Chain A
Amino acid sequence: MNKIAVIDYGMGNLHSVAKALEYVGAELALATGDEVEVSVTPDPKIIAAADRVVFPGVGAIRDCMAEINRLNVGEMVATAMQTKPVLAICVGMQALMNRSEENGGVECLGFMDGEVRFFGDDLRDEEGERLKVPHMGWNEVTQTQDHPLWKDVPDKSRFYFVHSYYVQMNDVAKISGTTYYGTEVAATLADSNIFATQFHPEKSQTAGLTLLRNFLQWDGG
């Protein structure tokens, strides 16, 4: 049994990510005979007992961090990161940074050395055309590191993004994929047991499902 825990700290919609994991999990079970069980849960015991942990997040960072701190989610993620594969998605990835500019400035978990910045009110592309914020839709991701989660995902595949704030890493060696939207954006990060995506793999059709399938088989490290 491959047990996947999606950490539910009350912020928004985790059904999409759970459904996508169940979908690729069922396919994988047919191929390997190893059943995949997905739990969406705030329970530290279930999270501790899981083989793999997903740390999602949507909405405003201040509200997310308030719940993360209240429910001690940071400790659950920190413990998981030491012992098993962890996938952080969207605001989950941003929460790993030192600090976010959103909501007038919010202290984050500080698990990775980077800052979360606003795209700005006057974002422009290379030709000077105005770009809409949020960055919403399918953008190309350049794979800047080999990683097991990129297996069978063609370089420069498009993934679905929706965010107004983006991660700027001080520790650039941890960036495993980039995209460009008026500025270079860290699309994915990799650091030993953790892989983080700014995009939503659960909404990114074939490329996203492939990445999730890889996560279900990844041993970390």
Chain B
Amino acid sequence: MSLAKRIIPCLDCDNGRVVKGVKFLDIRDAGDPVEVSKRYCDAGADEITFLDITASHEDRNTTVETVRAIAGQVFIPLTVGGGIRTLEDIRTMLNAGADKVSINTAAVNNPEFVKEAAARFGSQCIVVAVDAKRVSQEGEKPRWEIFTHGGRNPTGIEVIAWVKRMVDYGAGEILLTSMDRDGTKVGFDLELNRAVSEAVSVPIIASGGVGNLEHLAEGVLQGKADAVLAASIFHFQEYSIQEAKEHMASQGIEVRL
């Protein structure tokens, strides 16, 4: 027996409510983040990721209060992402009870920020979120680049070199989202996942595209992911965390049951 592969439900939160993913036009309310987190924790989630998609700056206080409320009741690791731009933002979230923060755009704009953050707070709490899009054509050697702003803005940065650099700078974990797959429910970009996982020493969380339980298992078995993240399949009770774990276990994957 050994280390379990993790299942991480992701809560996209807007103004203090859980909503269905950013990419959906018909944003559906999926409940109170504290209740949802507690339900997932009781159901056996291995960690919780809280992604703040609140647009306005004033509402950030709501986010801090929500994180504080979750952390007072949920005793599994809690990662907070969305709008983390300064060391002060990190400190605020850690003080509110987050165990890790996820840095995305701020890392692209200023890679040194990741180095400073890891030096100050330790690699164990620095997750670098990578939004990757395939830019190679069919039949070419696969190549992915980083995109920001929900996949709209290209940066020209090649993904494999980028994640290696982020790990050198002290990222303790990579949250890898395929922007091609996000919201499609056709499964992870397994080739992307495997390429990234094999390129770096730190754990990889696969994200983007989960539509069923088989996709979660594929992410681990073929995508070499150390953890799998999903939002909508859990929020709307299409599947429970328990079912997800049982399915993964049936595929020979070590999980915490």
A residues apposed to B, CB below 8 Å? 12-13, 15-16, 19-20, 23, 58-60, 121, 125, 131-140, 156, 158, 160-163, 180-181, 202-205, 208-209
Contacts and interface: CB of A to CB of B under 8 A. Distances in A.
Given A13-B99, A204-B75, A135 B3 contact: yes
Contacts, number: 98
Contacts of B124: 58-59, 134, 136, 162-163
B97 A180 contact: no
A204 B76 CA distance: 6
B122 A209 contact: no
Given A133-B202, A136-B203, A180-B2, A208 B75 contact: yes
> Which 5 pairs between the two chains have the least Cβ-Cβ distance?
A59-B122, A138-B256, A13-B94, A138-B4, A158-B256
Contact of B76 (A13, A125, A135, A203): A203
Interface string B184-207: 000000000000000001111000
Nearest to A160: B77
The CB with the most chain B CB atoms within 10 A, among A121, A134, A135, A161, is that of A134
Interface string B52-89: 00000000000000000001110111000000000000
B213 interface: no
B105 to A, nearest CB: 23
Chain A interface mostly helix, strand, loop or mixed?
mixed
Contacts of A137: 3-6, 46, 203, 226-227
B123 A134 contact: yes
Nearest to B98: A13
A136 B201 contact: no
10 contacts: A13-B95, A16-B99, A19-B75, A20-B75, A132-B226, A136-B226, A140-B2, A158-B256, A180-B2, A205-B41
B236 interface: no
A121 B200 CA distance: 10
